[in-house]
Structures are given as C-alpha cells and as structure tokens.
Chains A and B, each alone.
Chain A
Amino acid sequence: MNCDQVPLNIDAYLDGGLCESESRRLTEHVSECSRCSVQFGALLRTVAVLQDLPELRAPDELIPDVLQTLPAYQPSPAFKISTRSAARVEWALGVIGAVGSAAIIVALAWVVRQIPAWWDSLGAIGRVIEGLAVKGAVWAADAATIVAATCGEPLMYGLLIDVALLAAGLLALAVWRNRCRPRAVLLTL
C-alpha cells in the first residue's frame, strides 16, 4: 500500500468495510509511515471520542409535557380506523363494487342476448333492460362508495375503478351488440 491509497482505506476501515488482510496492510503501512500514522491516529481518535460521547438525560418534564399536548393534536386513535386499514377496506369495497357492477352488466346483457326477439328488434323491452344494466351498475358503484365512505377517507380509488369498469362494461356491451360494425359501436356509445 502506498500513501496515496491510505485516505480511502482509512475511510473504509473506519466504516468497517475492510477485510482482515486489507486492514493488516493498512496498519502495517501506518506503523512505518509517520505522515499516514498521524492522519490515521487523528481520525481513529475522533471516531473514538464521538462514540464515547455520553447520552444526555432529557429533562423530566418532557414526558408530562408531551402527554399533555397530545389531545390537542388528534383524538384517541381508538376511535378511528387507521388510515392503512381504511385504505385496505376502500380497495376491497371498491373492487367488490366494480366486479359487481361488471357482473350485473354482463348478466343482463346475456339475458337480453338469449331472447332473440329482444336482441333482434332492440325494441322497447330490450332498451329497458339495457337501461337497467347501466342503472344497476351505477347503483352498485354508488353503494360501494357509500359503504366505503363510512370508513373515513375519500374513496377515490374505489370510485375510479367503478367508473373505469363501468365504462369498459358499456363498451363491451356495445361491441358485442354491434359486432363487426365499428361505426354502429360508436353510434351506440
């Protein structure tokens, strides 16, 4: 080891990042080199003094002062579902609502599809059922949102999933009803 390599090696040594053989090479060098020895000694001593600094004792009134101040900041956590738990509930309810909405759309569309007269004519009843499919999905999304809203935080995640899946469901319905007719799909939407 030469003197140029010593500073980097001292840093690594003090960080505990030198292996046994590298440490030995460093200590061998500093024992023979007075300049590096001074540098090494000064840094070793600095770290030793830092590590030896005593832990100060906090004033006794710290705990009573902290406890006395707490109620002004937040009601007892016992009366509130934690943010983390609420987020999980939001996600679960949002996903349930969204899946429910999609299932209602698909089921009602399937029913419509099974009745040739309704499907072919797309008369008044078909339109009513299609309307119900949309309304059912919206109600399911609303219900999920309202239930989840009782958990505390605004439920944007669940609501967004609902809206996205509702849109996807409507798109799927339109595509299915107007297969191979992209223009008709657009018109339907």
Chain B
Amino acid sequence: MFQPEDQSLIARVLRGDKDAFGALTAKHRDAIYSFAFRMIGDREQAYDASQEVFIRAYTRLDTFDQSRRFRSWLFAIAANICTDLLRRRGNRATILALDWTSDRPEVDGVSPLEAVTKMDLQSSVAAALQRLGEAERTVVILKHIHGFTYEEISEMTGMPVGTAKSHAHRARRKLAKLLEQAELEDAG
C-alpha cells in the first residue's frame, strides 16, 4: 500500500491538516510502541509513553529540522520520554512472566518445536533487556532492534559515539550471559 512520505505529511500537518498527523502516527506507531515497551517493560506505561511521544512531536513539529530523518527525531523524543519515566520510577526492572511475544506474527516455515524454541529465546532476551542499565538498554535497542547507526544514536541521545559503542558492547555481553543463565535454568 502506498504510504505518503513523511515530509509531505509534515507539510500538511503544518498547514493545519490534523488527519495528516493521524497518518504520520499510523506510520510510526508500532515502532514507537515496540521501543517504549522494550524500554519500559510494561504495556500500560508503554502505551502512555507512546501517546506522549506523538503529542510532543505534534506540539514541536514546527521545530523539526526537515533535513533530518523524521523517524530519528521521533525516536529521540521517545528515548527522552522513556528515560524520564525510568528515572522517575528509579529504573526498576519490570520482569514479568507475561506474553512478551504474544503480538508476534506467525512463525512460518519452521517446525512447531523450532517455533517454540525461538519464542522462548526471544522471551528470554526481552526479559534480559530489562536487567540492563538504562543507557545500555537504550543503545542496544536502538542499534540492534531498530537498526540505527551509532552516529544516529549519538545525535538522538546526546552521548558521544564512543560512549554509545561502549554501552552496546557491554550490553551485548550482559545479554549473552543472561541468555546463557536462562537456558541453564530451563535445562535444570
């Protein structure tokens, strides 16, 4: 399905077309909600955070530099809001034995056993993400789940590129260790 480019939608929003903002929200809502959920680990708070991201984007749209990628700008707002929320609640880990992957699409082309194993692995990683520090979590999610470059992450978060890399490297090692522990516990 044809999706209008962000730039033309933004121009329409700035001319007062609220429906265009609805289209802009529709285009990015799943990515922003996924990011917020993986950052916060709570569906209700992720929903509220996503709502705040789009409202803040709307109220500040006239300050958006159109030479930048709108997606990066939106994620910068999301990172800011999620970080504030985590700080307010003391970065408490939300490790819930819930349906981390219940919204996942159907796993095609693999056996049921493989599908279950894959889901277990994804649940373990998603839960392990909640055990990381706030900065490590932010960087590793932006880098490896949403595919941003370190330069983009640096621009979004305000941390130097080298710091973002260090966070990602540490986060990967911690996640690998947590994954290993989870598997040992499952086996035991």
Q: Which residues of A contact B (CB under 8 A)?
A: 11, 14-15, 42-43, 45-47, 49-59, 62-63, 65-67, 69-70, 73-74, 76-79, 82-84
Contact = CB atoms under 8 A, between A and B. Distances in A.
Contacts, number: 121
Contacts of B168: 15
A49 to B, nearest CB: 5
18 contacts: A11-B169, A43-B172, A45-B179, A46-B172, A50-B125, A50-B144, A54-B104, A58-B33, A59-B47, A66-B55, A67-B22, A69-B51, A70-B58, A74-B58, A77-B61, A77-B62, A78-B16, A84-B62
A69 B126 CA distance: 31
Interface stretch (B24-32, B78-86, B90-98): B24-32
Nearest to A66: B54
A84 B63 contact: yes
Q: Which of A55, A56, A67 has the most CB of B within 10 A?
A: A56
Given A11-B169, A62-B47, A82-B14, A54 B54 contact: no
Contacts of B16: 76-79
B29 A62 contact: yes
B140 interface: yes
A7 B118 CA distance: 27
Most buried by B among A47, A57, A58, A62: A58
Query: By DSSP majority rule, is chain B's interface helix, strand, loop, or mixed?
Result: helix
B50 interface: yes
B114 interface: no
Interface string B112-150: 000000100110011000000000000010001101001
B58 A46 contact: no
Contacts of B29: 58, 62-63
B150 A15 contact: yes
A53 B13 contact: no
Contact of B103 (A54, A73, A79): A54
A11 B173 CA distance: 10
Nearest to B62: A82
Interface residues of B, number: 52
B144 to A, nearest CB: 4
A49 B25 contact: no
Interface in B136-188: 140, 144-145, 147, 150, 165, 168-169, 172-173, 175-177, 179-180
Contacts of A62: 25, 29, 33, 47, 50-51, 54
Contacts of B38: 53
A56 B61 contact: no
Given A15-B168, A54-B101, 14 more contacts: A11-B165, A11-B169, A15-B150, A42-B179, A50-B145, A52-B118, A56-B37, A56-B103, A62-B47, A67-B25, A69-B51, A69-B55, A77-B14, A77-B16
Nearest to A54: B104
B21 interface: yes
A156 to B, nearest CB: 18
B31 A67 contact: no
B71 interface: no
B163 to A, nearest CB: 14
B18 interface: yes
B68 interface: no
Contacts of B14: 77-78, 82
B67 interface: no
Contact of B59 (A14, A47, A73, A79): A73
B15 interface: yes
